[in-house]
Amino acid sequence: MLDWTDRTLITQEDLRTASIGASLRISERALVTPLAADLARERHIRLERVPAAAMDDLRPRPKIAIGADHGGFEMKEALKGVLNELGFAYQDLGTHSTEPVDYPDFAHAVALSVSRRSCDLGIMIDGAGIGSCMVANKVPGVRAAMCYDEASARNSREHNGANVLTLGGKMISNEKMREVVRIWLSTGLTEERHRRRVAKIDALL
């Protein structure tokens, strides 16, 4: 039996690598796209969901890609302290000063890191959080959400399976950022109705 419990998304391309009749262990929180589910039935591949509670204590915390433009640089530096306190590893993709830069470059780098699975999640900060969200959502496999309080952070993860968070460094305080990030990282996509809807998002071209 193959162990794919570290994967958050199972696609048709993933299942093409599995043998006909194979059995795969996947997380109960993993998203299976409709095309992947159809291929599993055609190839008689059995997907066995493993309860998340049985895995949480054993699995390392996700690695976070972080980035910012000049408007979000100072908050990004504060974010590093928050991630250290929470025990998350991170990769800082820049920028590294308050010198003016273009936010699309850094938002794209964060989103690509998540799309290519070199990091599990991403957090990008610009002045308002809006432009970076637009950029990130152009990258396949990325579901970016701009959040501004605890409720939007929770909803973006619980209902929409967001894997990139964008924040406005000029719109919220560092203290609010701390609470938003804490909620966002601690909330999961657990209900089947939400997983089914997010799988439909991922199936769109």
Report yes or no: 148 and 90 within 8 Å, Cβ to Cβ: no
Q: 182-186: which pairs have CB atoms within 8 A and are 24 or more residues apart?
A: 182/82, 182/86, 183/150, 183/153, 183/154, 184/147, 184/153, 184/154, 184/156, 184/157, 185/62, 185/64, 185/86, 185/88, 185/121
Helix (H, G, I), strand (E, B) or coil at 111: helix
Query: Of 95, 96, 93, 66, which is closest to residue 80 (Cα–Cα)?
Result: 66
Give the integer Cα–Cα distance in Å for 119 and 28. Answer: 20
Q: Is 108 one of the catalytic residues?
A: no
First to last CA, the chain: 31
Count of beta carbons in the 10 Å neighbourhood of residue 68: 31
Q: Which residues carry out catalysis? A: 159
